């Protein structure tokens, strides 16, 4: 069995990718998360010269801190065709890496103890059917059989999608990065991109702390840092960062291999024998200058989920939207990305305790689990819960891919394929109009997508 690292990727993870900076490439990618790395893989296979520049480590932020779900279930309908493709792409890359990404079939179950989501579940089953995905409503008896005698919880309804998958996020994206490099992509860790080199309104290259790289096109896939980077070039992205806490248990008996969530708790069986746990009703948002500026756009989302959100005014020092973080700098200045190479938010101990207590309440035969590790990640989200995947109005050779709202790990390969097609002059095979940059400024009514 593959030996996985004991914890998520951090600044203390050894540098694995230190390729020399080329003088010129076809496409320069800012950010080595799941979207950036898969985009590099596909562009390299299309014969393009491509380099990925990462201020910290490959997958050091949300791409290694997520739940590991590769789910079609519950997606925004515009995302679903892309997610169906991503499901296939994850299987392909796992096969190409001899199972190193840990991708396996894992039916994902959305459960409800109150029945309030029954209508929502019924609507989703029809959406899935329209797109050729088999999803099924679950009765209380069927849910009980999933967990056997181990559960004391009574769920009244749910849905499941048997073709969904799960992966091991701590190793998956670094594994794909190695594959991208084998296919000709260059990757440079511990090297911040300070700014774009713009001449005559067009991007001519990127300026890193170690030198300038000329490029024909650039892709900004910097997660929670995308808005800050873009703002320095007068490109305004209404992005907010939300903290989610996650825990890993010590190895436990396998009472279920299926992946499930209800109104309060999410669980996933891990390859190391433990379970990944997270709360579904406790998240923290830090309100800094940019979030405050875009606050009005978030009012519909806040109305929908305000009970689950803890708003804080003071973000930790050097975070992208902290009040003291500088908003403008020159190509020669040390940038905020060098001051904080990896976002390392501290999880709330109370939330970690709640996870263990809720797990024990649901599965008393297993009891309260011992927590091996806990961590937190900053989820980059947009006001309508779906990302921006588009060229910017200001610069036609800059593609922005951000705001994947915590579920980018699963859909990342699908969006990466679309970005690679855009960058090579092809028409993307999927309709991306839902993810256009201009939807926040063209007078369109805000259409909220699913928040999970």
Looking at residue 2, its pLDDT comes to 41
For residue 23, with 0-12 CB atoms within 10 Å meaning exposed, 13-18 middle and 19 or more buried, which class applies?
Answer: exposed
Output DSSP code: residue 215.
Answer: E
Alpha-carbon 77 to chain mean position: 18
Q: Which residues, 6 or more positions from 312, have their beta carbon under 8 angstroms from its beta carbon?
A: 284, 285, 286, 287
Q: Which residues, 6 or more positions from 12, have their beta carbon under 8 angstroms from its beta carbon?
A: none
Residue among 187, 162, 164 nearest 177 (CA): 187
Q: Which residues, 6 or more positions from 17, have their beta carbon under 8 angstroms from its beta carbon?
A: 32, 54, 58, 177, 181, 187, 188, 189
Give the helix/strand (H/E) hosting 87. Answer: helix 80-96
Give the chain's domains with CATH numbers: 24-440 (3.50.50.60)
Looking at residue 1, its pLDDT comes to 36
Going residue by residue through the chain, which has 452 residues, state the pLDDT in tens, using 9 for 90 and above. Answer: 344 456 789 999 999 999 999 999 999 999 999 999 999 999 999 999 999 999 999 999 999 999 999 999 999 999 999 999 999 999 999 999 999 999 999 999 999 999 889 999 999 999 999 999 999 999 999 999 999 888 889 999 999 999 999 999 999 999 999 999 999 999 999 999 999 999 988 899 999 999 999 999 999 999 999 999 999 999 999 999 899 999 999 999 999 999 999 999 999 999 999 999 999 999 998 889 988 888 889 888 888 876 778 888 888 889 999 999 999 999 999 999 999 999 999 999 999 999 999 999 999 999 999 999 999 999 999 999 999 999 999 999 999 999 998 789 999 999 999 999 999 999 999 999 999 999 999 988 889 998 66
What does pTM read for this prediction?
0.96
Looking at residue 59, its pLDDT comes to 97
């Amino acid at each position: 069995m593959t030996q996985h690292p004991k914890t998520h990727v951090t600044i203390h993870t050894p540098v694995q990718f230190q390729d020399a900076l080329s003088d010129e490439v076809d496409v320069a990618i800012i950010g080595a998360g799941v979207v950036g790395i898969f985009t590099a893989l596909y562009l390299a296979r299309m014969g393009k010269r491509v380099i990925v520049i990462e201020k910290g480590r490959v997958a050091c932020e949300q791409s290694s801190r997520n739940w590991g779900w590769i789910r079609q279930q519950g997606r925004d309908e515009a995302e679903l065709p892309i997610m169906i493709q991503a499901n296939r792409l994850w299987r392909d890359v796992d096969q190409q890496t001899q199972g190193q990404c840990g991708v396996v079939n894992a039916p994902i179950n959305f459960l409800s103890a109150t029945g309030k989501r029954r209508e929502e579940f019924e609507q989703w089953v029809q959406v899935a059917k329209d797109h050729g995905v088999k999803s099924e409503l679950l009765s209380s008896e069927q849910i009980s059989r999933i967990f056997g005698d181990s559960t004391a919880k009574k769920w009244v309804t749910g849905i499941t999608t048997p073709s969904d998958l799960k992966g091991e996020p701590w190793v998956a994206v670094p594994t794909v990065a190695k594959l991208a490099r084998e296919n000709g992509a260059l990757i440079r860790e511990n090297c911040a991109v300070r700014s774009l080199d713009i001449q005559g309104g067009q991007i001519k290259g990127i300026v890193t702390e170690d030198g300038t790289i000329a490029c024909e096109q650039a892709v900004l896939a910097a997660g929670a840092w995308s808005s800050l980077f873009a703002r320095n070039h007068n490109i305004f992205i209404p992005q907010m960062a939300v903290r989610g806490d996650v825990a890993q248990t010590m190895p436990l008996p396998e009472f279920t291999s299926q992946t499930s969530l209800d109104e309060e708790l999410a669980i996933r069986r891990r390859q190391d024998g433990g379970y990944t746990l997270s709360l579904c009703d406790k998240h923290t948002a830090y309100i800094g200058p940019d979030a405050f500026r875009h606050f009005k756009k978030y009012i519909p989302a806040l109305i929908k989920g305000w009970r689950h959100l803890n708003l804080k005014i003071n973000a930790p020092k050097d975070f992208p939207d902290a009040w003291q973080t500088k908003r403008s700098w020159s190509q020669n200045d040390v940038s905020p990305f060098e001051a904080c190479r990896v976002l390392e938010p501290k999880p709330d101990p109370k939330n970690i305790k709640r996870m263990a207590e809720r797990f024990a309440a649901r599965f008393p035969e297993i009891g309260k689990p011992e927590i091996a590790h806990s961590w937190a990640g900053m989820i980059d989200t947009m006001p309508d819960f779906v990302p921006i995947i588009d060229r910017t109005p200001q610069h036609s050779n800059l593609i922005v891919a951000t705001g994947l709202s915590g579920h980018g790990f699963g859909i990342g390969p699908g969006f990466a394929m679309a970005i690679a097609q855009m960058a090579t002059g092809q028409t993307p095979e999927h309709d991306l109009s839902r993810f256009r940059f201009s939807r926040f400024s063209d007078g369109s009514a805000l259409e909220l997508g699913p928040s999970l």
